[in-house]
Amino acid sequence: MYEDKTLVCKDCGNEFVFTAGEQEFYAERGFQNEPQRCKACRDARKQASRANKEMFTAVCADCGGEAKIPFQPSDDRPVYCSDCFAKRKNAQ
């Protein structure tokens, strides 16, 4: 049903392939628009937006280690380090 398409990245101008599998994924999610950036440019944009976020330091409620989090911690909710957060998420 879908066929690979060659698109041009609007950031770097390089061609990239929008595979049949990716097109099917987009259709399943109801996405209307084709991607406008290649994977490298998409990843660079994600990384740039993450780099601009202010990070806060807190104490992990499980292991007591240092947790770096992208929000101001409050005393009424527990905070977990990356490892403990992943363990809790996988346990659910």
Domain range for 75 is 56-91
| Whether residue 67 is found in the same domain as residue 85 | yes
11 and 44 within one domain: yes
Question: pLDDT of 26-84, one tens digit each?
Answer: 999 999 999 999 999 999 998 887 777 788 999 999 999 999 888 898 889 999 998 99
Q: Considering Cα of 10, then 12, then 13, then 18, what sign does the dihedral take?
A: negative
Q: Tokens 């998420």 sit at which residue?
A: 89
Residues 6+ apart with CB under 8 A from 54: 70
Same domain, 42 and 80: no
pLDDT recorded at residue 75: 85
Note whether 43 and 13 are same-domain residues. yes
Task: State how far the Cα of 21 lies from the Cα of 54, in Å rounded to an integer.
Answer: 36
